[in-house]
Amino acid sequence: MDTMMKTQTHNSQRGFSLLELLVSLSLGLIVLASIASLFRTGMNSTFLVSQRAETQQNMRAAIDLMTKDINQAGAGLPSGGIQLPTGTGSSTSKYGCDQSGTCYVPTYTYPTSNYMYGIIPGWSNGVQGNAVIPATPGRRNDSITVIYADYNYPLWEYYVTFPSTSSATTINLAANPIYSPAPAAINSAGAIQVGDLIMLSNSRGTAVAEVTGITGTSMTFANLDALNINQSGAASNNLQTINPRNTADNTTVAYRLFAVTYYLTVPANGQMPRLMRQVNGLTPVPVADNIINMQFAYDVYNSTTSALDSNQANPLGVAESPNLVQKVNIWIMGQSMTQNGNKSQNMYLATSVSARNMAFRNRYQ
């Protein structure tokens, strides 16, 4: 009997060694770390680009609005500007203040013996309450005030009369029938409101007054107005100076003026500085957030040397007349919304605006 012996062969499969597992795991972690690093870099780049784009857009919106106002500086004003109340009984008038009595720039009185220029440079006068903005280069911020006539609301389409020759605190207005359609009532929405500045002109001269009361047919210019412009007791350059001797005289023409002040404010709740726009004696409105610096320089025609003095930061400080400003150079700096970290970005925009309604001397040819 043959004995058959069967041999069973076991095929053993060799597994990974601990060293191989550790090497594989290390390589996998390196790859994952690289992917995470690339992802983080991409996210950071996207974040920085979006922050930069948002900051630039914010600054461009601010400059666009300032440019529109500065382009109009002096429009509709008599050549050289307007003398506000002077002489016995007068005091300095204000700009950049609202009806509550709050003034938003540190120096808020008209310069050169109470004179209303088309442009009032505000060298180192640009932060409400003299608040400190640490990131400001050189710690200097400027304001600017520009003044021009409002041609959108047709106040000149009214007959203007003074109801009394002895007092000029009120004027009456009646729509001139030659204009069709008739202008909207002066107290309608979007028309005249308390705090607005009105320029009145006739053969006796030109004067400016602040509206303190209004009805559908009259305006009141009482003393102690917020901007201290009315001053009926001043010796000259007030409404009484141009009050016609005949109450039936309707040759007086009226325009609304815009006195627009740009400045920075630092909110009390820890937000970044904000660019503000304040008009006449009205409440200011925000223009752009995260603006940390604003500076202006002026190209001024020098009537003594018959040359252009370029980039004058403080024309009034060197006895140059704002009436001879030819160009305004604007420089603003914005900061991205992320603060106090590596991702915070500061950048600036600069532009120049021709003061086309101011005195003109062609020194660029």
For residue 357, the model assigns a pLDDT of 84
pLDDT for res 361: 47
Percent over 70 (pLDDT), the chain: 88
Query: Is the pLDDT assigned to residue 1 strictly greater than 50?
Result: no
Question: Which class for 316: exposed (0-12), middle (13-18), buried (19 or more C-beta within 10 A)?
Answer: middle
pLDDT band at 37 (very low <50, low <70, confident <90, very high): confident
pLDDT(80) > 50: yes
**Which DSSP state fits 174?**
E
Q: Quick one: which of 311, 267, 313 has its CA closest to 291?
A: 267
Please spell the DSSP secondary structure of 76-138, one letter per residue: TSPTT-EE-SBSTT----B-SB-TTS-B-SS--B-HHHHEE-SEEEETT--BGGG---TTSGG
Residue predicted with more confidence, 91 or 46:
91
Spell out the domain ranges in the chain: 52-354
Distances (CA, A) of 293 to 122, 133, 230, 267, 311: 14, 8, 35, 15, 17
Report helix, strand or coil for 5: coil
pLDDT at 9: 53
pLDDT higher than 90, residue 3: no
Q: Give residue 291's pLDDT band: very low, low, confident or very high (50, 70, 90).
A: very high
What pLDDT does residue 221 have? 97
Model-wide pTM > 0.95: no
- Rounded to an integer, the average pLDDT of 165-171 is 92
- Residue 269 confidence (pLDDT): 76
Q: What is the pLDDT of residue 32?
A: 81
Per-residue confidence (pLDDT) for residue 347, from 0 to 100: 86
Question: Across residues 38-57, what is the average pLDDT?
Answer: 68
Length of the chain: 365
Most confident residue range from 11-20, 126-135, 149-158: 149-158
Q: What is the pLDDT of residue 283?
A: 96
Q: What is the mean pLDDT of the chain?
A: 88
365, 330 Cβ separation under 8 angstroms: no
Sign of CA dihedral 287, 133, 259, 121: negative
Q: Is the pLDDT of residue 365 over 50?
A: no
- For residue 6, what pLDDT is reported? 53
List pLDDT tens digits, range 272-287. Answer: 899 999 999 999 999 9
Quote the CA–CA distance of 142 and 66 in Å, as a whole number: 13
Q: Report, as an integer, the average pLDDT of 247-268.
A: 95
Region 67-87 average pLDDT = 94
Rounded Cα distance between 336 and 40, Å, is 20
* 143 burial type by CB count under 10 A (0-12 exposed, 13-18 middle, 19+ buried): buried
User: Which of 309, 296, 324 shows the shortest CA–CA distance to 145?
Assistant: 296
